Amino acid sequence: MSGEADRLRALLDESGAFQEGHFRLSSGRHSAAYVQCALLLEQPARATEVGGLLAARLGGLRPEAVLSPALGGLVIGYQVAACLGVPFRFCERRQGRMELRRGFRIRPGERTVVVEDVVTTGGSAAEAAALAAAAGADVVAVASIIDRGAEPGGEAPWISLLRLPLSSWPQAECPLCAEGLLLSAPGSRLPDAG
């Protein structure tokens, strides 16, 4: 295992971000473990360090902008952009569709990395990448702190600091539901802004 993955594991442990129990992930699937990246990034010094680790993996791709899906990608995306010295933009879900709002504009041909905190199914990150590509950007990577086993879509490489393919199940097949274990839903997805 690489030094950066070891360092990230240490940061996950000391921040209490790695949690075990019975969770409903934002994808709707159930899992026995959850990584609460908000806790990993709660301390700015830690967020800066994690952003630096991810930026170091991306610098060779010469990104010109970072795009993150709200809400999960905001803190880490900003840190990566700050480290790379490029603009940071975010997209947000509105009535089910990922949109670029708030006057953000993507330049055609702009080398863009999509940055997310955790990818599980990869849905939000893939939607952000598709949005950037539709606006004419050159999506050079989809990057995340943690990859829980997403199936990469699109042509850009998927890069993560730590691959952590924790088991998850559709609710109907969840062994923890079968045991009657109390479910918590720590997901970061906000309801539609409308």
Q: Which two tokens stand for residue 111?
A: 């080398």
CB of 30 to Zn ion, least distance (A): 3
Among 29, 30, 46, 148, binds Zn ion (CB under 5 A): 30
Q: Please report, as residue ranges, which positions from 149 to 178 form the binding site for Zn ion (by CB under 5 A).
A: 174, 176-177
Q: Which is nearer to Zn ion, 130 or 177 (CB)?
A: 177
SS3 8: helix
Q: Are 74 and 45 in contact (CB under 8 A)?
A: no
Spatial neighbors of 158 by CB under 8 A, at least 6 apart, are 119, 122, 141, 142, 143, 144, 147, 150, 152
Q: Which residue is nearest to Zn ion (CB)?
A: 174
Distance in angstroms (rounded) separating the CA atoms of residues 181 and 32: 10
Q: Are 169 and 186 in contact (CB under 8 A)?
A: no
How many positions of this chain bind Zn ion (CB under 5 A)?
A: 4
CB of 166 to Zn ion, least distance (A): 14
Residue 29 touches Zn ion, criterion: CB under 5 A: no
Site residues (vs Zn ion, CB under 5 A): 30, 174, 176-177
